[in-house]
Structure 1
């Protein structure tokens, strides 16, 4: 089985001998409305594997992101290959086949997948077989559906993992890990990192806005106020095409984040742009070259694929943002805020490499510096900055609500007041959570229960000869600690 993905620009390359021309291939793709990123699974004779390809097209028409389609495609391809080795396929698969596949993935392969990975795969396979039932391809799903738990088994779904940083931890990550400073805040002459101002600005933006990595890493300069913002003004920008599930929301960018961005834009970005000018010039035909920016409507106009096009920025997906450039006196320049060696948007893998390099640097310094804040066993993720933003905002709003209720007479608030001032609802809107239940999970992290444990036993711990058994006996009222 061979897996391919639709890519229109590749159709413009020289065609194979005796095959259709690139223009003919592209015309077919347009006529069939097959979007870029659509997975195509082919058998040994290079024929589409059905009904898998039809399901991929169904997902593409449902506007799933190309990254999601790619993930689904590899999951389904593994199952199709496994079933083929057993002389079966998705239309004739039995529960025994699927149980054997689950065991192969979670127990028998060289590196078995964990429960979280299997749950994601099981959800995809359940969606596939549910679609086959809806289309009348099979009578019922070939596995039992439990009253509780997920189809195809697996451990119960775990609660969302919320990791957050303290202020010392965040500063250590930003300045030592990403910025290349020493723990004493002095310049490290041995630092051999690249673009530290870019990296510090990125984590500052992520923390102070609560945006996800795909949201802040794909921002365009006009969205952050280039051409219209005064230096002392914050920015409100609309997120949609780059947001999770394309759920539209407004993100607030405070002045503190913009000031750190300005340092990067002034000191590092011009050199990155200069180095990549020749590379972008060679790729001009593949880029969206902008020649008109309408700040009032938030629209960009330019040339893409030889045609005049116009896009609203909030509706531009990450793939389009990555190839968006403008003409300057020095040549083509990416319109994205964060650019890399090639002059275009840094991808997720590049940011992860930067993050892990920063983590290794923090660990090296932590060995020799006793003042290093406590580091967790696993590296920080960019998403942990979003959790930190949510918790800090929720704490602040809770304090405001308590103070507000203390100053006002008792009584139930009106519905508009509840919606406008309820901390959970405010944070839900700011974070873009689909349900208040997701925001509610953060409440249990507002206070660290381990701090109460430390405080409760602080006096007892001062007695060096006190054993744990003595402390336990004292707590139960059976005696006094000695």
Structure 2
């Protein structure tokens, strides 16, 4: 039996559905109807708009081929819909698997009980028959997803009660908080979340660049994208941007090189975790990005143009102009004109943008595949895993993830800024600590003066421009190089920072 399902902005026919399994699809990612389009459904985008579906809204289809309008309401406008795109993409598959578990018990999603959730937790974590048991951290994430879903469902009165039972605990400050009864107590976080500068360079050169631990070239290395991968790693390590933020950046968003140590740029709101913000990237990292654009990227674009890879792509948007106000004006393939802001472009929107040059069209995205097509930001995780595997195979005890580079940047800049402030104020580190003990942090003092409830309001609303000026001034201080030796000392003393000899 054919099951009608919304997939990639179109209706498709799925003929190989497993009995008893829920299916997950996403709306509005810019796709166009394919050969399997069901007759009479060519106006699906208009119908989605009429129902106020949003782009990248999850659609869960039951094993009977039905879409529950209550689920659509939960996903369209609720505490779920305001979550970051990455969180939604993580949570939706969790719902699909749990609903399938319930269905195979003869239950719909709105009939789940606390006992069902207990059985699910037992299966996921300890059942001998389950070959893919999960640890505490994964279960905590799944429990958070289900807690959110059923809280929203209860609010809409779609269910009488949540299967997630809660209990109160006392917090260190004397208050109370609600946590799930099935919260794990074995969540393990890696102790190593930072890399010293020399450990990062070793991992990058060997894992991504194809060098040997000795510093010589590996003649057996066959990697053809080392220039791209090293540029991404340097850019992320320097800027501290998240994987999605750095991985979806457009060429027009890369700061122009000048004579500074650091350069600022903007992260779009829709690809940031919570809100758009300013990033700072170092001169050397941006030089490597420029080298990638002139070499590996330019060659991939040239080959793709020669074979017509950019001609008549489904959903393609050709950029006409990007204004100083960060507004993007584009033309669709059918001649229709549209516009948006760099802040409102999602990761999927950015994949669709192309610019016209003297040599023809090319992607607006910075990072490209070997074939010249936009590179999905999610694939950077695999790139880093392969690099870490190569280091391990060569006997090196160094590894990295995109988020580790973000942590490492924060540590490096923290040490650097403390040193710069100490020099400017003429304080020794001991004197600075005494000053803070006596007078408190500056942000806290200003918060009290303004009468704000918390310090973050002060930072975000009133003093963000001042903080930006301070960062720009300190980062570009010629007398304030990043102190790699101090970070190495921290590594030796704490054991929490990955270093290399």
- If the TM-score is normalised by the length of the shorter chain, which range does it land in? 0.7 to 0.9
CA contact (8 A) 2:268 2:343 kept: yes
What's the counterpart of residue 479 of structure 1?
Answer: none
**Which of the residues 56, 59, 69 maps onto 1:40?**
59
Which residue in the other structure is 1:386 paired with?
406
**More helix by percentage:** 1
For 1:30-179, what aligned pairs fall within 5 Å after superposition?
Answer: 30-49=49-68, 51-59=70-78, 62-108=81-127, 109-148=130-169, 150-156=179-185, 158=187, 161=190, 163-179=193-209
Mapped partners of 1:305, 1:49: distance in 2: 34
Q: Is the 8 A contact 2:136 2:188 kept in 1?
A: no
Question: Using the alignment, how far apart are the partners of 1:416 and 1:45 within structure 2?
Answer: 57
Show structure 1 runs of 5+ residues with no match: 367-371, 431-444, 454-482
Quote how far apart the aligned CAs of 1:258 are.
1.2
Task: State the distance in 1 between where 2:441 and 2:23 align.
Answer: 60
Asked if the contact 1:217/1:345 (under 8 Å) is kept, the reply is no
Let me know the Cα RMSD of the aligned residues: 3.3
Q: Whole-Å Cα distance in 2 between the matches of residues 360 and 414 of structure 1?
A: 43
Give per-residue Cα distances to partners, 1:424-459, cap 9 Å, x unaligned: x89x989xxxxxxxxxxxxxx996486389xxxxxx
Residue of structure 2 in register with 1:436 after alignment: none
Whole-Å separation in 2 of the counterparts to 1:193 and 1:315: 35
Counterpart of 1:253 (choices 259, 271, 281) is 281
Structure-2 separation of matches of 1:446 and 1:156:
33
**The one of 255, 259, 265 aligned to 1:232:** 259
1:344 is aligned to 2:373: yes
The residue matched to 2:331 in structure 1 has which SS? Answer: strand
TM-score by length of 2: 0.74
What is the CA–CA distance in structure 2 between the aligned matches of 1:334 and 1:449, rounded to whole Å? 41
Deviation at 1:122, TM superposition (A): 0.7
Tell me the distance in 1 between the aligned counterparts of 2:179 and 2:152: 17
After TM superposition, give the deviation of residue 8 of structure 1 in Å. Answer: 6.2
**What does the per-residue CA deviation read over 1:352-382, in whole Å, with 9 as the maximum and x for residues that have no partner?**
232222223222333xxxxx6xx15xx4211
Q: Give me the whole-angstrom Cα distance separating, in 2, the residues matched to 1:173 and 1:446.
A: 16
- Structure showing greater radius of gyration is 1
Q: In the alignment, is the contact (CA less than 8 A) between 2:327 and 2:341 conserved in 1?
A: yes
> How far apart are residue 223 of structure 1 and its match?
1.2
What secondary structure sits across from 2:166 in the alignment? coil
- CA separation of 1:85 and 1:14: change in aligned 2, threshold 3 A: closer
Residue in 2 that maps onto 1:369: none
- Tell me how far apart the structure 2 counterparts of residues 191 and 41 of structure 1 sit (CA, whole Å): 44
1:280 is matched with which residue: 301, 304, 309?
309
What is residue 332 of structure 2 aligned with on the other side? Answer: 304
Alignment partners' CA distance in 2, 1:182 and 1:291: 45
Q: Pick closer, same or farther for the CA change 1:138–1:312 going to 2, 3 Å.
A: closer
In structure 2, the CA distance between the partners of 1:40 and 1:60, relative to structure 1 (3 Å rule), is farther
CA distance in 2, matches of 1:301, 1:153: 50
Which is richer in strand? 2
Could you tell me which residue of structure 2 aligns to residue 6 of structure 1?
Answer: 27
Contiguous gaps of at least 5 residues in structure 2: 1-21, 170-177, 448-454, 469-486, 496-501
Relative to structure 1, the CA distance from residue 332 to residue 59 in structure 2 (aligned partners, 3 Å threshold; closer, same or farther) is farther
Structure 1 residue 391: Cα displacement: 0.9
| Counterparts in 2 of 1:448 and 1:198: CA distance versus 1, 3 Å | same
Q: TM-score, normalised by structure 1?
A: 0.77
Higher relative contact order (CA 8 A, sep 6+): 2
Query: Quick check: 2:271–2:347 contact (8 Å CA) kept in 1?
Result: no
Contact residue 175 and residue 181 of structure 1 kept, 8 A: yes
357 and 396 in structure 1: CA distance in 2 versus 1, 3 angstrom threshold:
same
**Superposed CA offset, 1:142-179 (max 9, x none):** 34311137315132485865511122211111212111
